[in-house]
Structure 1
Amino acid sequence: MTSQWQYQVRFDVTDATTAESVRRGVRDRALAPLFDILAEHRAVPKCQFDAFAEYVAAAEEHGVENDPLYAWTKTTIDDPAKKDKYLKSFTLYVDEREVYAKEIADALEADLQPFAATRLISRISKYDTNPANNPQPPQPTSS
C-alpha cells in the first residue's frame, strides 16, 4: 500500500563554509561523498535561503497584495539570524520534484545518516504533505 502523502527531505550543515560549498556545488574532498549519494538518488540540494529569496523576488514582481506568505518570508530573509540559519538549510529535490514518494524519502534519509555521524550534517528532517502535520500559511488580514 502506498501513502497518500508525498514527502520531502531537508538537511542542515554545520557551518557557513560548508553551506556555501553545497550552495555552489563545490565537490571538494569533504563534500564529494555527499554529492555522490545525492546523485545516486537523483537529488539536488536547494538552499532554503535562496528559495525564500527567489519567492520574495517573484512575489514582488507579480504583486504581493494577495500573498499572505510574502510578509513572513520577506521578514525571514531580512533577519540576520534567520538568514544565517536558512543559509545552512537545504531542501532536496528528487528528479526536479519538491515532494516525492515515502520510499524515496526514506532511502534518501537513511543514506544521509552517515553524514550526520561525521558532523558534516547537523540535522536531517523528513516532512510530509499532510496539512495536519505542517504549519499553514498566514491568513490575509482584512482591511
Structure 2
Amino acid sequence: MENAWQFQLRIAVSPELAASLRGDPASRSYALLGDILRKHNASLKCQFDAFADYVSEAEKLGVENYPLYQWTKETIEKPEKKARYLRSFTLYVDGEEVYSKERADPLQAELDTLVGDGGIESVVKFDTNPANNPQPPAR
C-alpha cells in the first residue's frame, strides 16, 4: 500500500529568507534553491499565505463549505503560529501539492544539501497516509 501514498515536501527557513521567498517564490534571489526548483519543476508557497488564501476564499464563497475555516482563521490570528507558518513553505511539483515518491525523493535529497546554508533550516517529507497525519478538528 506504500506505493499508493503521495508525498509533500516542506522547508522551514530563517525569518530573513522567508521574507525574501514570499516575494520571490521562484527563488531568483537564492540561486542554489532556484536551480533545484527549476530542475524539478517545483515552486514554493508560504504556509501562512496558503492558510490566508483559504480563509479569504471561504469568506467570499461561504464558510459553511470550508470545514477547516474556523481552525485556519484562529491559527493565522495567533502571533506565535503566524510566525511559525510565515517560515514554512510547501513545495509544489508540476503545480501539484502532493506527488509521487519518485518525484519527492530526489527533490528532497537535493534540498537536504542546502540545510544550514543560506537560511534553510529543515526539509520535511509528509505522506498522505491518514495514520501519519493529524486529522481535522471535529468542529
Same fold by TM-score, threshold 0.5 exceeded?
Answer: yes
* 1:9 counterpart = 2:6: no
Match of 1:122 in 2: 121
- Conservation of the 8 A alpha-carbon contact between 1:68 and 1:139: no
Q: Is there any run of 5+ residues in structure 1 with no aligned partner, and where? A: none
State how far apart, in whole Å, the 2-side matches of 1:122 and 1:116 are.
Answer: 5
**Aligned counterpart, 2:45:** 46
Map 1:24-103 onto structure 2 (within 5 A). 24-25=23-24, 27-28=28-29, 31-65=30-64, 67-103=66-102
* TM-score scaled by length of structure 1: 0.89
Cα shift at 1:2: 7.5
Quick check: 1:42–1:95 contact (8 Å CA) kept in 2? yes
For residue 64 of structure 2, give the secondary structure of its aligned residue in structure 1.
coil
SS in 2 for 1:116: coil
Please report the TM-score for the alignment, with normalisation by the length of structure 2.
Answer: 0.91
The total of aligned residue pairs comes to 137
Alignment identity in percent?
Answer: 55
Structure 2: tracts of 5 or more residues without a match: none
3-state SS of paired residue (1:72)? helix
What's the Cα RMSD here? 1.7
Amino acid aligned to 1:115: L
Secondary structure of 2:38's counterpart equals helix
SS class of match (1:3): helix
- State how far apart, in whole Å, the 1-side matches of 2:39 and 2:66 are: 37
Q: Secondary structure at the match of 1:8?
A: strand
Would you say 1:135 and 2:130 are equivalent positions?
no
User: Offset at 1:22?
Assistant: 1.0
Quick one: which amino acid aligns to residue 59 of structure 1?
A
Q: Shift in Å at residue 119 of structure 1?
A: 5.6
What is the rounded CA distance, in whole Å, between the counterparts of 2:31 and 2:23 in structure 1?
A: 13
Give 3-state SS (helix, strand or coil) of 1:96's partner: coil
Q: Distance in 2 between matches of 1:5 and 1:75?
A: 30
